[in-house]
Structure 1
């Protein structure tokens, strides 16, 4: 089955997405997500200028060989642009293989390991009272696990506070907007938030929290210790992980479960974290970590150390990525949880999909391939709209981690 054509589709049904569509001589096609939030056109160019020309004429069934060709054949390896492009090709090829076999991808991976995929939603509030109400609303929607974020008194633009009631999209302007961060205010505030959440909602619901790389290792250790009474499912991205050894210090000071990895691009970004059991959940995702083929390697390494998966699943990943992730999640033995931020109605219309939500769980469905398609005519009605993620400064004006 030869690859006869491929094209990049850039569309903005509420936010920007980059999709690769690969076509074959047997009339089958597959799609893969290539979205890199705020840097979408860099991946679109990489695919168009450097990847698609070398795909034409190759055997679409040789997924592993094509992955190795795109990874080993590029002298400048890894990085978010390269790995997102490889992921798009890889996902599209798995989609094609599933369609050729008449099976969903999870069946090709080895079949289901569970009946459904536990997911968590995002409850975002302007203050504690608002966040408590939002968590309650997600409980009513059927969620069994909820990430809770709140505005912080005196902190402009605290991470995770949505402008609407359901959809959260941080990329907000053509040039990056600026927010202000105050670590001391946050460290004093966060335990109060979870104290109130447990008081109102009890301990039957799983609660998660995203620190978004804002703390030093010792600050993260302090926060994790302070949050221990509230039994979080995890504390996410507590400190930047370019220096993986930094998590040794965090681990020494808290038993709060740790999750990290949504910005990782390869197994090398998390080897130390996994092998030294410095984390409990690895959050690498299909689109940014080289596709299903590479995610299998990361999960296999993690399984040796009882680290579970918890893939990133924000709205900066298209339904094509969610479909691929859910097929992976349903199969992978050491699954933990899947992030699930709902897309807008416009996005769902552009990307019709088979996955469904019921009582706190998602299922990818049983359509052949990844179970997601793209309506190209509808996608063309939503032109690219330049948007970038914010940046953060400390109260003294110094740059910090957004």
Structure 2
């Protein structure tokens, strides 16, 4: 079974997505997600100009060999652009293999390890009262685990906060020629977040799992202080508490708090975890299928993590297309190291382009029983939603210094 074409499609049904379609001489079409939020065209070019010409004529069944060919053969290894491109190829080939076998992808990955896939939802508000309303909505949808983000006095508008009451913030990347800019002050944040957790716990009790994303904005000792201050409210985790590049900084955080830690959203290979996992400096791996080399790449990371009782929590907001989410779900249901799946609902227009086989109900997913990945990409519908230039925000301290976003 040989590859006869590889086509890259960039579309924007509510937000920008990069999709790879790989077609075989048997007429099977595999789909892969290559979306890199705010840098979509860089991956599209990498695929179209450098990878697609080398795919034509290759054996579509040779997934491992193809993965190594594009990872080792390019000399320039790793990095988000390279690994997102490799991920798209890898997922498309797994999709083809499972279609050819006539079974859903998770069956090729070893079958079920669990009955359902637990997910956590996103709740946000410009203040605590609005956040509580959002948490209540997530509970009504069946979530028993919720990420809570709230506006911080003096930090306007704040990470993960919609500017419109009651409307989910589907996409932090804003269309336009330049990024928007936000302001950040760690002192006001550290004083306010414990009050947020105290209020949410008082209203919703101890049974609801609460997660919080710091988004790399604290120094190690500030992150340690945050973890220690939140221990009475037993968070499910704190995510990305400090910059991801300095892995040894997590030792400082770990020494000062027992709150579980999640990291890896910006990581794109097993190499990124060579210190964090063996030293057990984190509890959850946050890498996405789309950004870490596909099904093959993420499974390698999770196999390594499982040795140290570290679990998966695949990145899954709206900058992951339904293709990337579907691939995550097939891993989630089959891999022993699964922990929880992030889920932020796509806009309805997304499903005009992506016909999905997975399902969600009462806080849990099923990957579906369609052969392959279970996602069909409608090119004619995609053509109605052309690319729109968009950037993630830039973050600055109060004095104007560019800070981690």
TM-score interval, smaller chain = over 0.9
Q: Provide the residue aligned with 2:42 in structure 1.
A: 42
| Equivalent residue for 1:279, pick from 278, 282, 304 | 282
CA drift of 1:345 comes to 0.5
**How high is the TM-score relative to the length of structure 2?**
0.98
Deviations 1:248-301 (A, max 9, x none): 000000000000001101011111000100000010110100000011110011
CA contact (8 A) 1:171 1:387 kept: yes
Deviations 1:57-114 (A, max 9, x none): 0000000000000000011111000000000000000000110001111100000100
In structure 1, C-alpha distance between the alignment counterparts of 2:175 and 2:93, rounded to whole Å: 34
CA drift of 1:196 comes to 0.3
Secondary structure of 2:317 counterpart: coil
The answer to whether structure 1 residue 168 and structure 2 residue 170 are counterparts is yes
Secondary structure of 1:8 counterpart: strand
| Equivalent residue for 1:194, pick from 176, 193, 197 | 197
Q: Provide the residue aligned with 1:103 in structure 2.
A: 103
In structure 1, C-alpha distance between the alignment counterparts of 2:151 and 2:169, rounded to whole Å: 16
Q: Output aligned runs, 1:384-399, within 5 Å.
A: 384-399=387-402
Change (3 A) 1:248 1:153: same
**How high is the TM-score relative to the length of structure 1?**
0.99
In structure 2, C-alpha distance between the alignment counterparts of 1:346 and 1:167, rounded to whole Å: 15
Q: Provide the residue aligned with 1:218 in structure 2.
A: 221
Q: Provide the residue aligned with 1:67 in structure 2.
A: 67
Secondary structure of 2:276 counterpart: helix
In structure 1, C-alpha distance between the alignment counterparts of 2:369 and 2:328, rounded to whole Å: 14
CA drift of 1:153 comes to 1.3
Secondary structure of 1:209 counterpart: strand
Aligned residues: 402
In structure 1, C-alpha distance between the alignment counterparts of 2:352 and 2:115, rounded to whole Å: 26
CA contact (8 A) 1:167 1:343 kept: no
| Equivalent residue for 1:307, pick from 306, 310, 314 | 310
Q: Provide the residue aligned with 1:126 in structure 2.
A: 126
In structure 1, C-alpha distance between the alignment counterparts of 2:217 and 2:168, rounded to whole Å: 24
In structure 2, C-alpha distance between the alignment counterparts of 1:99 and 1:143, rounded to whole Å: 32
Deviations 1:157-192 (A, max 9, x none): 210102342343110133111110000000000000
Deviations 1:340-365 (A, max 9, x none): 01000100121010111112101110
CA drift of 1:194 comes to 0.5
In structure 2, C-alpha distance between the alignment counterparts of 1:356 and 1:117, rounded to whole Å: 10
| Equivalent residue for 1:334, pick from 323, 337, 346 | 337
Q: Provide the residue aligned with 1:2 in structure 2.
A: 2
CA contact (8 A) 1:312 1:338 kept: yes
In structure 1, C-alpha distance between the alignment counterparts of 2:152 and 2:230, rounded to whole Å: 17
Q: Provide the residue aligned with 2:156 in structure 1.
A: 156
CA contact (8 A) 1:13 1:382 kept: yes
168-177 or 13-22: bigger deviation: 168-177
Q: Provide the residue aligned with 1:28 in structure 2.
A: 28
The answer to whether structure 1 residue 207 and structure 2 residue 227 are counterparts is no
Secondary structure of 2:355 counterpart: coil
Deviations 1:173-219 (A, max 9, x none): 33111110000000000000010000000011111000000000000
Secondary structure of 1:370 counterpart: coil
Change (3 A) 1:96 1:363: same
CA contact (8 A) 2:157 2:163 kept: no
CA contact (8 A) 2:244 2:266 kept: no
Secondary structure of 2:118 counterpart: strand
Deviations 1:356-394 (A, max 9, x none): 111210111010111111111000000000000001110
164-173 or 102-111: bigger deviation: 164-173
Q: Output aligned runs, 1:335-350, within 5 Å.
A: 335-350=338-353
Q: Provide the residue aligned with 1:293 in structure 2.
A: 296
In structure 1, C-alpha distance between the alignment counterparts of 2:99 and 2:264, rounded to whole Å: 31
In structure 2, C-alpha distance between the alignment counterparts of 1:382 and 1:340, rounded to whole Å: 23
| Equivalent residue for 1:251, pick from 246, 254, 260 | 254
Q: List gaps (5 residues or longer) in structure 2.
A: none
The answer to whether structure 1 residue 228 and structure 2 residue 231 are counterparts is yes
In structure 1, C-alpha distance between the alignment counterparts of 2:335 and 2:181, rounded to whole Å: 39
CA contact (8 A) 1:38 1:171 kept: yes
Q: Provide the residue aligned with 1:267 in structure 2.
A: 270
Q: Provide the residue aligned with 1:141 in structure 2.
A: 141
CA contact (8 A) 1:237 1:260 kept: yes
